[in-house]
């Protein structure tokens, strides 16, 4: 008996057992429903902590050195400043994650735990990582739970959702463990939950989820047009306030304290081609130097990516309002960010990989497995250093294109093997439905939502 079968049997036994209080029943139902991302999150935390603490010492036989994510320490130090009442450093980073890390920063400061230097991951033994690491990984795992919820809405089987969760944990480790950007994972996870809320016609919840997602990481703006394309004009007007309020709160402080500097930072958004992966767009942008390091403004081309993705999303989602089409356009929008970015950090490719992977699990096992392998390969390639602006970028764009092809939402959303108790389901390889019944499990719910 394999792991998926054992999990299914355990879930069935747990569902049939009397659990006493209503709260316990609810917790049990939630655990049974989300067993796949729970397993993946537990593995992520355990293996991630072991890797960061022991890899350099036990495997590489180097001096005592913990391989903690370098970018995370800037956010953590901002949180430390916040809990000590110093507000200015907070806005050197995205404020959302600084506020969320504040409880850990308060505990770390009270216990006088050591920290690593900003942008320096390999540091002797920053003891704050003992509490910061698990907390950051659990925060980032919201993306795994959101992906699992979307897969459940598509009717994907438990065994495929376990595959989705495990591959998702593998590729999200590059964002959380290698680099330290839980805010990206939170933003993508909340965007997927917002898409589910819009699909259920819970527009107020959708608006607040999008607003908080954008406050954590503005890349969530790319998902906004696809999600809101199915809403009427009257609903869109009502959504302006919940979408804008969290972002306004996040930037109100720096706008008041230093409006010129804040506007310059928001519009230019400097990135560093010599430190990250340069793309062909670098030659079209003005060059500047920050502490003798080459920098280019990413803001203009990011605006191009937003406008392009918005136009495509509105055009496609207005024509076809199926939920899987909306999710597919979210994946396309995240991929366009990679296409138009002048200097790519390694973790920039992850959002497109995660959303495309969810859609590929609607297909048969071969397609889902190939998509998982491609996502892991793209994650590995994102950390490969290569001379020149063309080779690395072309390969990455080709992998993303292949994943989008595998994720393309054909009409029939679920393979027959995901519903063995229902005969005659049409799979995505063109097999006919002998009963003549539709397999679009979301079609009825979508029709009701649109009325």
pTM of the entire structure?
A: 0.86
Inter-axis angle of helices 182-199 and 350-360, nearest 10:
40
Percent of the chain with pLDDT over 70: 79
Least confident of 170-174, 179-183, 251-255, 349-353: 251-255
Q: What is the mean pLDDT of residues 215-222?
A: 94
Task: Give residue-wise pLDDT tens across range 342-371.
Answer: 999 999 999 999 999 999 999 999 999 999
The whole-angstrom separation of Cα 367 and Cα 364 is 6
The whole-angstrom separation of Cα 326 and Cα 322 is 7
84: pLDDT confidence band, cut at 50, 70 and 90?
A: confident
Task: Give residue-wise pLDDT tens across range 280-304.
Answer: 999 999 999 988 899 999 999 999 9
Residue 435: predicted pLDDT: 34
Q: What is the mean pLDDT of residues 138-159?
A: 97
In whole numbers, what is the pLDDT of the chain averaged over residues?
85
């Amino acid at each position: 008996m394999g792991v998926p079968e054992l999990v299914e049997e355990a879930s069935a036994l747990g569902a049939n057992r009397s659990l006493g209080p209503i709260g316990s029943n609810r917790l049990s139902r939630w655990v049974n429903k989300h067993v796949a991302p729970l397993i993946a999150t537990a593995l992520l935390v355990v293996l991630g902590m072991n890797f960061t603490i022991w890899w350099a010492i036990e495997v590489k036989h180097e001096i005592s050195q913990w391989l903690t994510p370098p970018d995370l320490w800037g956010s953590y130090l901002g949180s430390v400043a916040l809990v000590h009442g110093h507000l200015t450093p907070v806005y050197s980073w995205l404020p959302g994650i600084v506020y969320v890390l504040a409880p850990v920063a308060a505990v770390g400061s009270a216990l006088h735990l050591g920290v690593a230097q900003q942008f320096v991951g390999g540091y002797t033994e920053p003891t704050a990582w003992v509490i910061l690491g698990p907390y950051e990984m659990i925060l980032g795992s919201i993306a795994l739970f959101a992906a699992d919820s979307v897969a459940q809405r598509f009717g994907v089987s438990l065994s495929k959702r376990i595959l989705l969760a495990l591959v998702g944990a593998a590729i999200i480790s590059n964002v959380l463990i290698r680099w330290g950007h839980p805010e990206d994972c939170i933003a993508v996870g909340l965007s997927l939950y917002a898409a589910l809320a819009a699909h259920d016609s819970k527009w107020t919840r959708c608006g607040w989820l999008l607003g908080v997602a954008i406050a954590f990481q503005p890349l969530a703006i790319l998902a906004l047009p696809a999600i809101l394309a199915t809403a009427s004009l009257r609903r869109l007007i009502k959504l302006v306030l919940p979408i804008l309020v969290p972002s306004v709160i996040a930037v109100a402080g720096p706008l008041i304290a230093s409006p010129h500097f804040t506007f310059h930072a928001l519009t230019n958004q400097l990135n560093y081609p010599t430190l990250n992966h340069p793309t062909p767009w670098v030659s079209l942008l003005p060059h500047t130097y920050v502490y003798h390091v080459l920098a280019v403004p990413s803001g203009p081309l990011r605006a191009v990516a937003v406008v392009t993705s918005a136009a495509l999303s509105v055009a496609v989602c207005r024509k076809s309002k199926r939920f899987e089409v909306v999710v597919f356009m979210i994946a396309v929008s995240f991929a366009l960010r990679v296409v138009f970015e002048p200097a790519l950090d390694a973790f920039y490719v992850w959002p497109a990989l995660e959303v495309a992977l969810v859609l590929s699990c609607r297909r048969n096992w071969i397609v889902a497995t190939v998509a998982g392998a491609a996502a892991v390969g793209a994650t590995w390639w994102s950390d490969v250093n290569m001379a020149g602006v063309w080779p690395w970028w072309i390969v990455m764009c080709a992998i993303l294109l292949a994943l989008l092809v595998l994720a393309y939402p054909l009409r029939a959303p679920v393979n027959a093997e995901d519903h063995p108790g229902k005969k005659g389901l049409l799979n995505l390889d063109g097999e006919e439905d002998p009963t003549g019944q539709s397999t679009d499990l979301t079609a009825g719910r979508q029709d009701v939502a649109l009325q």
